[in-house]
Amino acid sequence: MAERIQLFDTTLRDGTQGEGISFSADDKIRIAQRLDAFGIDYIEGGWPGSNPKDVEFFERVREAPLQHARLSAFGSTRRAGIAAEDDANLQAIVASGAGAASIFGKSWDFHVTNALGTTLEENLAMIRDSVRFLKGRGLEVIYLGEHFFDGYKRNEEYARRTILAAVEAGADVVVLCDTNGGSMPEEIYDIVGAVCRLVPTTVGIHAHNDCGLGVANTLAAVRAGARHVQGTVNGFGERNGNADLVQIIPNLQLKLGYQCVSPEQLRTLTDLSRFVSEMANQAPDPKHPFVGKSTFAHKGGIHVSAVLKHPETYEHIDPALVGNERRVLVSELSGGSNVIYKAKAYGIDLDKNSPALREVLAAVKALEHQGYYFEAAEASFELLLQKAVGRYRPYFELEGLRLLIEKDTMDGEPTADAVIKVRVGDEVIHTAASGNGPVNALDNALRKALLDAYPELAQIHLTDYKVRVLDEDAATGAKVRVLIQTAGGGRSWGTVGVSTNIIEASWLALVDSVEYGLMALGVAPMAGQAAAPAAGRSTAAGAGA
């Protein structure tokens, strides 16, 4: 049976020290519940002696107790010169109601004399007294040796004495901290191994990522004998962050053969990572190992052809093991295998001899040469594919549109009005709408014209709009690419338009956005629509951006 590793998550404490990371008490409750369901053994909820938010969290979490994880409250050893029972920080840990305490003490003699301003012997007494006090109050004690590796490399004997002081006082786990994140994996391996031989207590590792080695150092510590691992989801944390549990857990379980969570829980890893990013208001990293959107994405035609035959040719694990999925990208580098794979995902059967396949490949290469980018606009690609195989029917036809931008004074805000005429089935609809810009006015006018025929359109809304100039040297006459992200019906999709006229580029992306959304919602086009155009798109000339 695989050896078990204790998982200790400090996203709610150490993770919040990262720049731009902030969680409300509500956020922390929700994250703790997700970590608990995932199978984390210890969740460090915060430092109850430092701020009201953490006090509120510990109070409220009692109303929604965790099912698996043990809650830990963070703090420091007692202050120099006072008794442990008189230390407000230790009292706050006990009052928090947490079942475990994670307290840090100084391991580096330089810190003891220069940061704390006390003696080496008093620091050892502070460690012993604090651990004994918390153990006497019925808490499990996880002792964190701050700056342990730096201290060990400079004064090995004293660093050892600090750990022995915690063990002698009854600490359940002693955690060695690479607080500055500057140690190398071989140093971590040697020092952790030495401590594991020194003490009978469970040894843990707490690594930071200042050299980009947080995960590597954690794995080295486990190989040396550590059986308690600390980190944060997505590597959130101060400076360059903490060791990333999202990378550590699958490496330990899938590569090194240790037991961290159940296979079913591991399959929720991608969802957990993205959930915590969302709670932190951070965009998920598409290249995040194991869980990123691009991690199992294949673009080159040769790669795709091989993956379709034998996934292990270009995938080190089955993406489903961590809840991720394989993606095949379509671009000018695509071969027939890419298009066949995507077509199958859309329920379209193509083979390598299909005329539609050649038509789509030619169209993609030509359009991407013009500036289209289908990797970020898979909805536009699917519409292109539907046209090539004759399955596409338009939802409306444009018969004309006019935009008016008006600015009355030098300092006044401009206004935008759009007038549009479209044919929906046998009916011609002529309407107008205003907006805070020309694209917004165009979007409003199109929706107004279509809403009676397609009321489902009310479920669809734009979530992002990006413009990129493709040839800067052409100045205001440059070709631009517009990418639109749209959401509706519980899903989202991207569309693209390219033109030397920013309004035309926006219109092309907007039309794809609306038509794909209606198609995804299962809405049928109105009877009487004209035949679909062939695959490919026109590129309008005219006044630039």
Q: Which residue has the tokens 């109105």?
A: 526
Nearest-5° Cα angle at 227, 223 to 231: 95
User: By CB neighbour count within 10 A (0-12 exposed, 13-18 middle, 19+ buried), where does 44 fall?
Assistant: buried
pTM (two decimals) = 0.68
Give the C-alpha separation, 270 to 263, whole Å.
Answer: 13
% of the chain at pLDDT higher than 90: 46
- 527 three-class SS: coil
Q: Residue 126 contacts by C-beta under 8 Å, 6 or more apart in sequence?
A: 77, 78, 79, 80, 105, 118
Q: Which of 514, 511, 507, 513 lies closest to 542, judged by CA?
A: 507
Q: How far apart are CA 206 and CA 230, in angstroms?
A: 5
pLDDT of amino acid 342: 67
- What tens-digit pLDDT sequence spans the chain (545 residues)? 789 999 999 999 998 888 888 888 888 888 999 899 999 999 999 998 777 888 888 988 888 788 899 999 999 999 999 999 999 999 999 999 999 999 999 999 998 999 888 999 999 999 999 999 999 999 999 999 999 999 999 999 999 999 999 999 999 999 999 999 999 999 999 999 999 999 999 999 999 999 999 999 999 999 999 999 999 999 999 999 999 999 999 999 999 999 999 999 999 999 899 889 888 878 788 899 999 887 777 665 566 566 666 676 666 788 889 988 766 655 444 556 666 676 676 677 777 777 777 777 777 777 767 677 776 678 888 877 777 777 778 888 889 989 888 877 777 788 899 999 999 888 899 999 998 888 889 889 999 999 999 999 899 888 888 888 876 565 656 788 888 888 888 888 888 888 888 888 888 899 888 888 888 888 888 765 454 444 445 433 333 44
Number of helices and strands in the chain (H, E): 18, 16
DSSP 47-98: -TTT-HHHHHHHHHHTTS--SSPEEEEEEEPPPTTS-GGG-HHHHHHHHTT-
d(CA 123, CA 228): 25
Domains along the sequence of the chain with CATH? 6-261 (3.20.20.70), 352-391+459-523+534-545 (3.30.160.340), 396-453 (3.30.160)
